[in-house]
Structure 1
Amino acid sequence: MTVWPGAEHIGELQAWDMNTGEEVWTREFESPNWGPILTTAGNLVFMGGTTDRNFRAFDARTGDQLWEHGTNSGVIGVPSTYMIDGVQYIAVQSGWGVEQHR
């Protein structure tokens, strides 16, 4: 079996300082992280691509996990954010959109 360089980081969420090129923090997960990441101007990072089907929020400065929420079938789409009356919302696609057979 061949393991390509960098494959050992598949189960990680990483933050890098764009000015110095230095790693700021890393969070490791038991399963691969295949999903997209959303970062907001409010220093929040959202991710939901792990196979444990949790959607998580992190502090972008420290990497501290702020919360996690279980989903029925995992997060498969890019998280999006919108604001209504000064309240920020995060929306994610969870599920495969498969119609149940009758």
Structure 2
Amino acid sequence: MKYVLLICDDEASIPSPAEIAADPAHIDYAREVDRRQAGRGGARLRPVAEATTIRVRAGETLITDGPFAETKDFIGGIDILECADLNEAIEIASRHPYALHGSIEIRPVWE
């Protein structure tokens, strides 16, 4: 079954791609995903300051710069996994470095 991990953290501490690539915790996480052959993709997202939120109400398109809600945490990226079940997805997500100071939301994918 496919799962998406929504990787959430405080935007005040965004490491650069080079910092992530050199971080032993991220390296270990990537190795574990590779070892399980669970990785199916993912992406790092740009900061919320670059977000645009769209809502259509009563036929009118409302465009807002930034996220929909004011919040300290933001979705900074996603990982897509193929796992045997939710328990395996939880095992993998619990190893993600951002689980230590942010949060990882696990969502099953409709297929």
TM-score w.r.t. length of structure 2: 0.31
More helix by share: 2
